[in-house]
Structure 1
Amino acid sequence: MRRLSLILAVMSVMAAAPAAHATTTAYTCKIKPISANWIPEVLFVGHKTGSKTAVASDPIILHYNDRKPMEVRVGRDRGNDVTFVWTHSMRAMQGHNLRVTYRTTITRGTGDVAMRVSFAGGGRSYSSRGTCEIKEVD
């Protein structure tokens, strides 16, 4: 049920975007879970070719963004791979504020995805890999 609501959220945001001549690509990614719960098991991204931003949704984004997908930055878009970057500000259980940055690279030719999570101020980071289904959505 949660996966269906994520898909519907991303598709509704993509449908609401103004029509353009650029191709829109939908990435539906499954990422291997890690024990720290900082990396989501599923990620959805909608990206128009040439755009500097994309729309992303996962359980963490929905939790920290009022149950809505969010606009993310395209960090790099080179031929065979594209990197999306976004940051969450959140309150830790100990009461202090955290800035958490997500960097996700998808290889278009293979559908491989790599996600890295880092924290402002350094310290520990987490990473995981998975695969994406890639579809053109025009």
Structure 2
Amino acid sequence: MTKGIFTACAIAALSTILHAAPALAAPDVYVCTLQAKDNAWVAENIVISHDAAAGRVRINDPLIQSINGRAVDGEVRQNTNRRLTLGWDLRDVEVGSQRVARFAYRLTLYRGTGKAVVTAKPLGFSNTFLGRGTCAKQGA
């Protein structure tokens, strides 16, 4: 993906995420840059908003934008001093001629290093797609 597309998606994602947040609560916002292994099911850039106080997670990336048109809700799977693991689903994804799948995503952010690992699993299929990279906390 080109940097221009990422910039436009990142601005749209941040706008969507930040405008949806309550005025008094400032969520942690992470911008992740990933390298996916030979597939288009893990985006190169992901924006995450995690509001621990409100228990709210929002995720956006170019793939989510193209399929869903806006950020999706996620959930915290694990939150420790060492890592933050988030999960979300992307529904109604066309994976072939007239086949539609639901993808289950999981992102683990290692707090000490900023390294991130993302997996995308199309439910009902044997494939699992992987991306690795880093996430940077904005405003930190």
TM-score under structure 1 normalisation?
Answer: 0.86
Confirm or deny: 8 A CA contact 1:6 1:44 kept in the other structure.
Answer: no
Report the equivalent of 2:50: 47
Confirm or deny: 8 A CA contact 2:32 2:47 kept in the other structure.
Answer: yes
Number of matched pairs: 135
State the secondary structure of the residue aligned to 1:72.
strand
RMSD between aligned alpha carbons? 1.9
Report the equivalent of 1:83: 85
Tell me, in whole angstroms, the C-alpha distance in 1 between the residues paired with 2:108 and 2:97: 31
Tell me, in whole angstroms, the C-alpha distance in 1 between the residues paired with 2:39 and 2:55: 30
Percent pairwise identity: 23
Displacement, 1:53?
2.6
Confirm or deny: 8 A CA contact 2:36 2:130 kept in the other structure.
Answer: no
Tell me, in whole angstroms, the C-alpha distance in 2 between the residues paired with 1:71 and 1:84: 10
Stretch of structure 1 that moved more, 39-48 or 116-125: 116-125
Letter of the structure 1 residue corresponding to residue 40 of structure 2: N
Gap runs ≥5 in structure 2: none
Which residues of 2 match residues 1-138 of structure 1 at below 5 A? 1-12=4-15, 13-21=17-25, 23-66=26-69, 68-89=70-91, 90-136=93-139
